[in-house]
Structure 1
Amino acid sequence: MNQKVGKVYLVGAGPGDPGLITVKGLQCIQKADVLVYDRLAGHRLLTYARPDAELIFVGKGPNLHVYKQEEINEVIKQKGLEGKIVTRLKGGDPFVFGRGGEEAEVLLEAGVPFEIVPGITSAISVPAYAGIPVTHRDFTANFAVITGNEDPNKEESNIDWEKISTGIGTLVFLMGMGNLPHITTKLIENGRDPQTPVALIRWGTRPEQRTMTGVIADIAEKAKEANFQNPAIIIVGEVVKLREKLAWLEKKPLFGKRIVVTRSRQQASAFAGRLEELGAEPWEFPTIDIQEPADLKPLDNAIAHIQDYSWIVFTSPNGVEHFFSHYFSAGHDIRDLQGIQLCAIGPQTKKEVQKYGLKVDYVPEEFRQEAIIEGLKNYDWQGKKVLLPRADIARKELPEALVRFGAIVDDVVTYRTVRGSGDAGILKQMMNDKMISAVTFTSSSTARNFVEMLGVEDAAELQRLLEGVTLASIGPVTSETMRALGLRVDVEATEYTIPGLTKALLGFWGIQ
């Protein structure tokens, strides 16, 4: 019986910012059995792969060839013949100097079905992120994209230098830093004004993005002095002048920062979104995952007797969400909470409660259990039943204090916090390469799991790995845990919320 042949998707990953991949490209990553990727495909995109997907790095660069092109062709062909769904993830667009056409031809000859998923090419997106439009009605109505790594010693060039030098308004050379002196010489020899503006943009759309400007006559020398190297694009033309007015990315307060978010995937999006708005690249490394309780009977029993309680104390948005999910599933509605007073730790927990049209009776001024205990002293607890729908690893100080006040407390596990699924291998490599600006911790469990997941041998190795990385804590309880684990606390929020943590990071870096 013949084995079923799989399928290969040749996908453009875009220039680096993971937000620039297409919807279809992302779908191809998510369904792939095998993900074959190069160094220009953003690492954050790999986090969307299935946990059981095979990841194959075939990184290529001017001075780096993990796999030769023929070997890459063989990999995707063989995986397709094995019946696998293969996503070949390529930086930019697969058909713009991406050798996607060659890969498609190999697949066609082998009888492996394939699809092409275009990507946003760096030729237009990288200049845009540097504030340079490739066309503008006041400057030029045309542009050309040219390979920058053609061998300058070839007897006959595939580039018509005479025509492009004077016939095209904007020229974009891809991966041409090694040939920059040759490129500028050929342009001048063929009639381009030596004073034509030029921009070099390295690692465009990423936190490492750097831009250098000059003119054709001096840009090669400037680049040599600054050791400005690939991966970079070269853009030649009068449109480069617009950068002074239109540069926008570098003006964002957190531009150039890559910040690790250790919250669960369910909670990370809002924090990550805010960091992105401020110009940072959030790197989601979920150290915790939120799951249902192992035993739902205590929660079901509490909900069945909800009218027996005088107070419900919510200590986290997760607790609110999971409590009401089970509450409504059990056939209850908001009217059944009549007469029960509600307490919430922090504004985010309060907002989560208010989503259900409920009024919160008490929110402590300080968002931690000790402050709640201090504030609740003023209430009459004698003989009152209190429900605490919380995590399985929640601290015991609060229920113990309420018992001392005379309350009857049901401390009910509403959700479990387990170790997350962040890829420690990729994160450690990025820290070794000094690509991480900060790591944020929003609870003691995120700190504990972070250290466990890194799997370092000793404290010295942990310190070496985190050298130069800002470690930020959401509050004193988390900070205490961090120090016990051998982690520095460089930043501690004074308001124990995500907005408070963001504000503290901005303050630490001297950003208003």
Structure 2
Amino acid sequence: MGAGPWDPELLTLAGRDRLARADVVIADYLANPALLMHCRPDTLILQRVRGKHSGPRLAQDEVNRLLVEHAQAGKRVVRLKGGDPMMFGRGAEEAKVLRAAGVDYEFVPGVSSPIAAPEAAGIPITHRSHTPSVSFVSGYEAYEKAGLAVAWKHLANSAGTLVLMMSVKNARTNAAKLVDAGREPSTPAAVVRWGTRGIQQTVVGTLADIADRMDAAQIRPPAVMVVGDVVSLREQLAWLERRPLFGRRVVVTRAARQSGGLLHALAGAGADAVAFPCLEVAAPEPAEREALDAALAPDRLAGLEGVIVSSPNGADALFDALARLNLDARAFAGKLLAAIGTGTAARCQAKGLRPDLIPAKARSEGLIELLRARGLLGGRWLHVRADQGRKLLAEAISEAGGSIELVIGYRTVRPEVPGLLLDSLRPVADGGEGYDAICFASGRTARHFLETTGERFGADAARGFLEQAKIVAIGPVTADALAALDLRVDAVADTPSDAGMVEAVKGLFPKA
């Protein structure tokens, strides 16, 4: 299965489906670890790694053995490859091994980097005014060692665009071979590293000087080289670099299933958005679920002023409980519904019930002010929330002579994070990609981030990584919680929303 060039939004729908149903995933290092968040929590993930910190590298023979072993054990196995499995991806070789072992398989295409990377750099590989053809070529000598010599003379004299894969190490040699075979030294050439990512690098020159320019820019793999007149169009067509957060790597720590909106928004602003889930929503304990169901019984609801829901997950839990009891929104007839935050309100509306009370400040303090202003603080309330939270709301209602019944709708736990994704957080000088900013939506996600990274790198190193980045909090409550963890807060979103978080990040990195 092809994982695409890296951008997680370029995964195909078929690919997402296969990952969601996989029992075992064997992933190459060029497959974005964020894609693994589509897998079930119990999926066995094995990674072919690269770099001194990532552990032992799986040899090809070992990959072949694992594919056959797990498939013959009745498992659904995904072999996840960067780009497309048939474009210099050894997909055909591995399929032959499976066929010989009597294992059924399928190919799931992926967006290939020799097309996607130039496109993301504003370089069309064909153009009706420049060239009618394109050739994809291995820039790596392994093929020549196997007796499959590249036809340099033919390529040099063709009128088409050349896209050379795996061409960083041999860039100087390959450029010289093209010139020696007859291609003009002045032919435009470009190298695109990490195409489609917010940290994409593009170096433009000619066959005569492209290797020197790459050395000056310290270009490292993975990268593709484009040779041909179409390179000259980049100056007119470049688009990704124009976005405000281009070049910035931003980490999102929300639960995997709830991070999509912010990831999309950051990527739309040009950032290299990294999904690093530090929270996972889990079902409540059986006794907690029974307590929620009991609280929704008609005789218990009869004496209530209303119901308070403090998060979208709480709204889901509330309406799931109604469904279990064969009830619907009519159960709240004559009762008030209070939703803390516009996201929570939107989730309630999507479930068929419009909240009566939405505080201007999306936190407990805002709801307390609103209830006091409406003369409702002394009423009897039912509060549906997570297993952990502040006591401020309950204390204020109690002091006003009211009462609040707290029921747990869901629990939050610390999820497992793929090792390859963890290692990518290391600074560039330490073999990783580093990060420029990190977004926290709660103090608990920050605590889980410190625990997870501390276990991998050591507590001091984990905090050191944070000190090199900007920290963004979704609101004042989260900012206070981060401060309590002795973390510096560089920006607080004006509104507790995806748009507010993106604007806060933009404010930290103004475009020159």
TM interval, shorter chain, is: 0.7 to 0.9
Q: How far apart in 1 are the matches of 2:102 and 2:425?
A: 42
Shift of 1:81: 4.8
**Aligned-CA RMSD value:** 2.9
Shift of 1:43: 1.7
Which of 26, 29, 34 is matched with 1:39 structurally? 29
Q: Which residue of 2 aligns with 1:57?
A: 47
Asked if 1:270 is matched to 2:261, the reply is yes
Which of 380, 386, 404 is matched with 2:381 structurally? 386
Asked if 1:219 is matched to 2:218, the reply is no
Q: Which residue of 1 aligns with 2:281?
A: 290
Q: Which residue of 1 aligns with 2:309?
A: 314
Q: Which residue of 2 aligns with 1:8?
A: none
Shift of 1:74: 4.1
Given that 1:259 and 1:283 are in contact with CA atoms closer than 8 Å, whether structure 2 keeps it comes out as yes
Residues 1:28 and 1:358: Cα distance change in structure 2 (over 3 Å): closer
Shift of 1:56: 2.9
Asked if 1:340 is matched to 2:335, the reply is yes
Residues 1:24 and 1:377: Cα distance change in structure 2 (over 3 Å): closer
Q: Which residue of 1 aligns with 2:163?
A: 172
Letter in 2 for 1:431: L
Q: How far apart in 1 are the matches of 2:309 and 2:510?
A: 35
Q: Which residue of 2 aligns with 1:406?
A: 401
Q: Which residue of 2 aligns with 1:132?
A: 123
Name which of structure 1's ranges 377-386 and 140-149 shifts more when overlaid on structure 2: 377-386
Given that 1:288 and 1:417 are in contact with CA atoms closer than 8 Å, whether structure 2 keeps it comes out as no
Letter in 2 for 1:508: L
Given that 1:152 and 1:182 are in contact with CA atoms closer than 8 Å, whether structure 2 keeps it comes out as no
Could you give the per-residue CA deviations for residues 465-509 of structure 1, whole angstroms, max 9, x where no partner exists?
324222211122222222222322222223333332222111122
**Secondary structure of the corresponding residue to residue 449 of structure 1:** helix
Asked if 1:302 is matched to 2:295, the reply is yes
Q: How far apart in 2 are the matches of 1:75 and 1:210?
A: 35
Residues 1:258 and 1:417: Cα distance change in structure 2 (over 3 Å): farther
Q: How far apart in 2 are the matches of 1:99 and 1:45?
A: 20
Asked if 1:445 is matched to 2:429, the reply is no
**Secondary structure of the corresponding residue to residue 462 of structure 1:** helix
Given that 1:307 and 1:337 are in contact with CA atoms closer than 8 Å, whether structure 2 keeps it comes out as no
Q: Which residue of 2 aligns with 1:145?
A: 136
**Secondary structure of the corresponding residue to residue 195 of structure 2:** coil
Q: How far apart in 2 are the matches of 1:465 and 1:302?
A: 45
Asked if 1:259 is matched to 2:250, the reply is yes
Given that 2:472 and 2:491 are in contact with CA atoms closer than 8 Å, whether structure 1 keeps it comes out as yes
Aligned length: 499
Alignment map for 1:111-122 (pairs within 5 Å): 111-122=102-113
Q: How far apart in 2 are the matches of 1:327 and 1:153?
A: 67
Q: Which residue of 2 aligns with 1:417?
A: 411
Letter in 2 for 1:345: I
Given that 1:389 and 1:412 are in contact with CA atoms closer than 8 Å, whether structure 2 keeps it comes out as yes
**Secondary structure of the corresponding residue to residue 486 of structure 1:** coil
Q: How far apart in 2 are the matches of 1:409 and 1:266?
A: 30
Q: How far apart in 1 are the matches of 2:109 and 2:374?
A: 63
Q: Which residue of 1 aligns with 2:237?
A: 246
Asked if 1:495 is matched to 2:488, the reply is no
**Secondary structure of the corresponding residue to residue 182 of structure 1:** helix
Given that 2:473 and 2:479 are in contact with CA atoms closer than 8 Å, whether structure 1 keeps it comes out as yes
Shift of 1:213: 0.6
Q: How far apart in 2 are the matches of 1:327 and 1:106?
A: 52
Shift of 1:240: 1.1
Could you give the per-residue CA deviations for residues 326-374 of structure 1, whole angstroms, max 9, x where no partner exists?
2354344444433323333222223333335555443333222123223
Name which of structure 1's ranges 28-37 and 497-506 shifts more when overlaid on structure 2: 28-37
Q: Which residue of 2 aligns with 1:325?
A: 320
Asked if 1:233 is matched to 2:233, the reply is no
Shift of 1:70: 4.2
Structure 1 runs (4+) greater than 6 angstroms displaced: 151-157
Q: Which residue of 2 aligns with 1:395?
A: 390
**Secondary structure of the corresponding residue to residue 496 of structure 1:** coil
- Please, which runs of 5 or more residues in structure 1 have no aligned partner? 1-10
Q: How far apart in 1 are the matches of 2:144 and 2:76?
A: 41
- Please, which runs of 5 or more residues in structure 2 have no aligned partner? 427-431
Which of 155, 160, 163 is matched with 2:154 structurally? 163
Q: Which residue of 1 aligns with 2:429?
A: none
Q: How far apart in 1 are the matches of 2:305 and 2:353?
A: 15
Q: Which residue of 2 aligns with 1:193?
A: 184
Residues 1:193 and 1:420: Cα distance change in structure 2 (over 3 Å): same
Given that 1:431 and 1:466 are in contact with CA atoms closer than 8 Å, whether structure 2 keeps it comes out as no
Residues 1:252 and 1:452: Cα distance change in structure 2 (over 3 Å): same
Name which of structure 1's ranges 111-120 and 242-251 shifts more when overlaid on structure 2: 111-120
Q: Which residue of 2 aligns with 1:7?
A: none
Shift of 1:212: 0.5
Q: How far apart in 1 are the matches of 2:226 and 2:405?
A: 67
Letter in 1 for 2:489: V
Name which of structure 1's ranges 254-263 and 139-148 shifts more when overlaid on structure 2: 254-263
Could you give the per-residue CA deviations for residues 97-125 of structure 1, whole angstroms, max 9, x where no partner exists?
22223223333334333333332221111
Shift of 1:82: 4.9
What's the TM-score, normalizing by structure 1?
A: 0.88
Residues 1:458 and 1:429: Cα distance change in structure 2 (over 3 Å): closer
Given that 2:345 and 2:358 are in contact with CA atoms closer than 8 Å, whether structure 1 keeps it comes out as yes
Name which of structure 1's ranges 132-141 and 147-156 shifts more when overlaid on structure 2: 147-156
Residues 1:91 and 1:336: Cα distance change in structure 2 (over 3 Å): closer
Name which of structure 1's ranges 314-323 and 141-150 shifts more when overlaid on structure 2: 314-323
Could you give the per-residue CA deviations for residues 354-401 of structure 1, whole angstroms, max 9, x where no partner exists?
335555443333222123223332333486322222223222211221
Question: Percent identity, aligned pairs only?
Answer: 38
Residues 1:88 and 1:382: Cα distance change in structure 2 (over 3 Å): closer
**Secondary structure of the corresponding residue to residue 466 of structure 1:** helix
